């Protein structure tokens, strides 16, 4: 999807970055690919979907971004390879812009030095008696023009230097992203880093943003799975729960592995009643799961979860919301587990 000349790529990047900044879109190769495709106007359906999601949520949730990427940017489904290609092309683009900026800065400095030299030569005493006043009048105009050019050049250099710093920051960020994925490998859901990033984005919109509801889910008696059947079976339990969680993801509902046997769900929009109903449906679907011995099909145990749900309060920080939701989760456990508690 990322193609064309370096000039075209640079122009599309210049268009895409301000839009991403305006909507608070995080710096990831996937998001760059989406917004690069958006400003290219090559896929009207993609642009319409992006416009609708941004209008509804003020941003693009990670779940929606990934779905759009798979559907429109990399239809073949080769997700990781496509992201690597996007990142490599962006790095090449950034390196090209970086090189041009250095060349431009050097050129403007040379031009400024040349003007200074001309001014010194022209202001030197002349042996000619012809039109002395005219000569000095021209010199004064040239001197004024040169002074203005030097001031403009200085401002231009500052702007270019700032852009250069931003390019270095972007390159460092892209390198960090290469080593810091957004997904939990075992369960297939988003990881804790993605949770912290996206919850911060949603809450950062303040009162102008959509309603935000948070659910924290914990697998009941998970330690017993590890103790009785071993960590391999424990991993199977995590993977099974992750599969059920992935099944309910949609626009406005994102799922994350918070840590250990604990998961989180962010609901963007709708009411807390709707969020609670969806988590109850999720709890019931997990309750129906039966863990079996892969060798003989013997039934080992049932899997249940406890869930706490809370809505963002006015001016509430991410830490406060997580703490209240955790309190609801522990209340669900205290009340007997395998239930949903909403505060």
- Residues that are catalytic: 261
Tokens matching residue 100: 């041009």
Closest to 324 measured CA to CA, from 340, 307, 311: 311
Long-range contacts of 95-100 (CB under 8 A, 24+ apart): 96/6, 96/10, 97/10, 97/13, 97/163, 97/167, 98/164, 98/167, 98/168
Residue 308 pairs in a beta bridge with 216, 341
Closest to 10 measured CA to CA, from 98, 85, 104, 103: 98
The secondary structure of residue 303, as a DSSP letter, is -
Strand, coil or helix: what is 63? helix
Rounded to whole angstroms, what are the CA distances from 293 to 73, 228, 297, 298? 40, 12, 5, 5
Dihedral sign computed on CA atoms, order 320, 259, 267, 342 = negative
Tokens matching residue 259: 């840590």
Strand, coil or helix: what is 246? helix
């Amino acid at each position: 999807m990322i193609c064309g000349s370096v000039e075209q790529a640079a122009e599309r990047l210049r268009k895409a970055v301000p839009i991403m900044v305006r909507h608070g879109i995080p710096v990831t190769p996937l998001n760059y690919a989406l917004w690069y495709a958006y400003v290219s106007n090559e896929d009207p359906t993609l642009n319409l979907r992006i416009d609708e999601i941004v209008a509804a949520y003020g941003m693009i949730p990670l779940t929606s971004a990934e779905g759009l990427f798979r559907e429109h940017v990399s239809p073949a489904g080769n997700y990781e390879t496509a992201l690597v290609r996007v990142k490599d092309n962006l790095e090449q683009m950034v390196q090209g812009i970086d090189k041009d900026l250095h060349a431009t800065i050097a050129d403007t400095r040379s031009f400024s030095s040349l003007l200074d030299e001309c001014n010194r030569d022209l202001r030197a005493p002349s042996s000619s008696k012809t039109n002395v006043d005219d000569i000095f009048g021209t010199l004064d105009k040239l001197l004024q023009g040169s002074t203005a050019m030097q001031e403009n050049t200085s401002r231009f250099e500052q702007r270019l230097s700032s852009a250069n710093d931003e390019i270095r920051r972007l390159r460092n960020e892209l390198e960090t992203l290469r080593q810091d994925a957004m997904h939990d490998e075992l369960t297939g859901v988003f990881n804790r880093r993605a949770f912290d990033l996206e919850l911060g984005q949603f809450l950062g919109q303040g009162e102008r943003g959509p309603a935000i509801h948070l659910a924290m889910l914990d697998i009941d008696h998970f330690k017993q799975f590890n103790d009785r059947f071993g960590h391999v079976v424990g991993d199977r339990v995590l993977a099974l729960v992750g599969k059920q969680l992935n099944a309910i993801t949609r626009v406005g509902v994102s799922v994350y592995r918070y840590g250990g046997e604990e998961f989180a769900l962010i609901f963007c929009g709708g009411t807390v009643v709707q969020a609670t109903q969806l988590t109850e449906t999720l709890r019931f679907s997990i309750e129906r799961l039966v863990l079996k011995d892969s060798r003989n099909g013997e039934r080992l145990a049932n899997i249940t979860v406890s869930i706490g749900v809370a809505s963002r309060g006015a001016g509430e920080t991410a830490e406060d919301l997580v703490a209240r939701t955790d309190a609801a989760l522990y209340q669900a456990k205290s009340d007997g587990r395998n239930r949903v508690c909403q505060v």
